[in-house]
Structures are given as C-alpha cells and as structure tokens.
Amino acid sequence: MNKENNEPVGSRREILAGMGLAALGLMGLNSAWQKLGFNEIKPALNPNIRKYKADSAAPFPNVTLYTHEGDAVKFYDDLIRDKVVAINMMYSQCSGICPKSTANLREVRNMLGERAGRDVFMYSITLDPERDTPEMLKQYAERYGIRDGWKFLTGAPEDIEWVRYRLGFYDVEEDADNIRENHTGMVRIGNDDRKRWSMAPALSDPWQIMATINHLDPKVVHTAEAHT
C-alpha cells in the first residue's frame, strides 16, 4: 500500500503505465520491421468475436450449466437475471493466477457476509469444462474453504465458450485468445436489473473489488466491517 495516497502496489497508475509502455514497445517494433522492409505486424483477429457476441435476443446465453454441487442451472434465468453478480473464470488445474485469485476472492466472499447469496452472487466458471466436472469443482471449492453464496460452474465446451465471449473474457487477437490463462485475471461485476457492468482485477485489494460491487448494488448500506 502506498502510504501517501492509499493506492495499493500494482495500482491503476502502475497498470496504466505498463499498458502505455507495452503500446510504445509494439509501436517501436513495428517501426523497426518497417525500416527493414517488412509490413507492419498485424496479429490475426479473432474470428469468434462476431459469432459469439451475436446470436441471441437475451442479454446473455441461457445455456444449461452445472454447479459444483451437481445442480443444473440456466445461465441467464437462474444465475444472472435481476441479480448483482461477480464472475471470474478459472480452472482447477491452473497453477498460475487461479489459486491466488480464488484465495483473494474468498476474502471478498468473507467481507460480503450475509449479503453473499442474498444480495450478491459469486460465480467461478471453468475454462476447462472437459476436465472440470462438478465433482472436480467441488473438490476445488472444498480445498479453498469456499462458503455458500459462491458457485463453481461447468458445462458443455461450446456453451462455456459462448458464455465467455458474451461476458467479455476474450482477446481480439486469436493467438492471445487461445491462451487459457489470459482469461483468469479479471472479475466481471454487474447488476442485470439496472444493466450496469464493470470489471476489476482479480488480484486487486479485496476492498477495491468490494467497492466495485457496492457501487453496483443499490441495497448496500455498509460493507461487512470498517476498513482499518
């Protein structure tokens, strides 16, 4: 935490600065290649964007998914409709950001207290549905001591892909989109009733994630406890 402005390490300023340096680096690389007589580097655009973003009159696909408790649920009707939600993507065999994200979001779940499963609903959707059965996800949830109010979800691979694209967990560059780990670092937070959606880094300070949730939840009066 930066004591001067209460901004955590890895803050928005640092992230934006990093994005700016990355953009400058790509521009410089393109310029160098052009001087050598090569065309500008243009990554292949993802052909699935148009396919998955269209094709439904509902805000989100109403496909059938399965919870880590073995229940069949409709993604939009049962999980999203008229609710305040926090959604991330993960998979049980991930050894990178997923364990850290799950542990961080567990702190958010604890902060929500009785609001979890009543006012705010947390969902983690697997990126590896062929391996992550409900039983595997149940073991994963038990390993991290996940309490009620938070569901881990799997389903048919094509349905998971559709949900992923409609939630915005995709990259416009096809090669980057094919890297599963690229979709595990953010939390999609929304209020379907008010049609308001936002995102937060999964590894940001839990209180920052809570602030985003509270901003979208009209029923909130106070967070679970004072931030000290």
| Residues that constitute the known binding site for Cu cation | 94, 98
Angle between helices 97-112 and 206-216 (to 10 degrees): 60
Per-state percent for the chain, helix, strand, coil, to nearest 5: 40, 20, 40
Say if CB 19 and CB 11 are below 8 A apart.
no
φ/ψ bin of 70: left (φ > 0), alpha (ψ from -120 to 50), beta (otherwise): left
Question: Measured between alpha carbons, how far is 60 from 162 in angstroms, rounded to an integer?
Answer: 9
189 residue type, one letter: I
Closest CA to 24 of 13, 32, 36, 35: 32
Widest CA span in the chain: 63
Q: Which distant-in-sequence residues (6+ apart) come within 8 Å of 49 by Cβ?
A: 165, 170, 172
Summarize the annotated binding site as residue ranges.
94, 98
